[in-house]
Amino acid sequence: MDVRLTRSNLSGTVRAPPSKSYTHRALLAAGYSDGATVESPLVSADTRATARAVTAFGGSVDPREGGESTSDDSSDLPDADALVVDGFDGRPDVPNDVLDCANSGTTTRLVTATAALADGGTVLTGDASLRSRPQGPLLDALDELGVRAESTRGNGQAPLVVFGPLSGGAVALPGDVSSQYVTALLMAGAVTDDGIEVSLTTELKSAPYVDITLELLEAFGITAEPVGSETAAGAEGFVVPGGQTYAPPDGRYEVPGDFSSISYLVAGGAVAADPDGSVRIEGAQPSAQGDAAIVEIATRMGASIDWDREAGVITVERSSLSGIEIDVGDTPDLLPTIATLGAIADGDTRITNCEHVRYKETDRVSAMAEELETLGAETTEEPDVLTIHGSESELRGATVDGRADHRIVMSLAVAALVAEGTTTIRGREHVDVSFPGFFETMASLGAAVER
């Protein structure tokens, strides 16, 4: 489905959607428990996949107020202010069918380790995009831990077959492909008999996402620690003792706002806020999310931003932006947003350390270079660097392809706010992955949106 946006000014107050990263982990952590309530979750296409996985392993996920049980099918899980999870208490059943993770790479990686705990075989697959993403290092790690874990096509990609049970042990793992491999092993390792020790063979990319995991595990009563560092950044590895029990205080966990999604609202305010107004974003409390760096990045580019951390409110005014150099090794999901800001800023915006961003729902480096060029931007693409030549760019409305990737669609929507004329974006439905109400939110701020 297409969406059309015409050059617009934004003004008003909106609330940030809940964090997708925290919701995934919270639903699975509640599944590992004997039961917990996840407050303020993001109910989206991706997190529904994790809810289905919890159900397949013997749990259930239901809205707190009414709604049908997801014990048979959670694809219709309604939006809710809280999800009540009846967990499998660290002992997952063998699913009675193939586990469909749809387009959710996070679900696939996290629950591959869950499958390793089951006493039998689990088959995991997903859509065409998911079946192109690398899972080999996690499969190799599970194999090293004594679990049969294979790609059916022998290429390290889904469909995957995993035969448990996993008892724990020590394993070496590369950190430069996906931090989610570490998260998967830490979450599963807590309920093994022996625990798991992970040694990193390369520097850890996207380290803040492991900090998110460590923060959430602590909230669920689980001890897990980096080795050689106080945080995931710079860690030599991680250790999680076995025999632990997932149990959050009072049986509940509240999901914070999502800074990956907030990035589009910050960017929209910085480039298109009404000259006499501002964009005010509520629900932006500090957390371990690395993507909170969007505030500092946009400020460095010249954006006028006030962040009341205690109140969790960000206020953004339209500003003249200038290009800078930014390393996205720890914040890969910000690349599309930064690239869009770069196309509007003066001078060059150089995004470095971004090769791992090519292994997402799509190759986001090439996707942003090509689609921004369709809108009139000038870019230079290298294997590990994307440069946007803002001074040579003049954005004008055109038809662009969202590449079936929620972050590409939303970033192009920000570009459309300042492009001359009307921009048509293909694949608007993919925002359901992380920000289902994105276009409604933009319209509430004054964006001219035609769906």
pLDDT digits (tens, 9 = 90+) for 181-206: 999 999 999 999 999 999 999 999 99
DSSP state letter for 131: G
Residue 403 annotated as binding? no
Show Cβ contacts of residue 312 under 8 Å, excluding neighbours closer than 6 positions.
Answer: 257, 282, 283, 284, 285, 286
Model confidence at 78, pLDDT cuts 50, 70, 90, reads: confident
Domains of the chain in start order, with CATH, are 2-17+257-450 (3.65.10.10), 20-254 (3.65.10.10)
CA dihedral 32, 37, 42, 46 (to 10 degrees): 30
User: Taking 60 as the threshold, does the pLDDT of residue 242 lie above it?
Assistant: yes
Tell me what pLDDT residue 66 has: 47
444 annotated as ligand-binding:
no
C-alpha 7/C-alpha 359 separation (Å) is 32
Q: Is 428 annotated as a binding residue?
A: no
- Nearest Cα residue to 342 out of 295, 287, 389: 389
Specify the residue for token string 């390290």: 156
Where does the pLDDT of residue 76 fall: very low under 50, low under 70, confident under 90, or very high at 90 and above?
A: low
Do 224 and 183 meet the contact criterion of CB atoms below 8 Å apart?
Answer: no
CA atoms within 13 A on the CB side of 258: 25
127 is in an annotated binding site: no
d(CA 349, CA 44): 32
Burial class (CB in 10 A: 0-12, 13-18, 19+), 344: buried
The whole model's pTM is what? 0.88
Catalytic positions are: 333
Residue 205 annotated as binding?
no
**CA distances (Å), origin 206, targets 47, 115, 293, 334, 340:** 20, 24, 12, 11, 21
322 annotated as belonging to a binding site for a ligand: no
| Amino acid letter, residue 205 | K
Digit-coded pLDDT (tens) for 105-122: 999 999 999 999 999 999
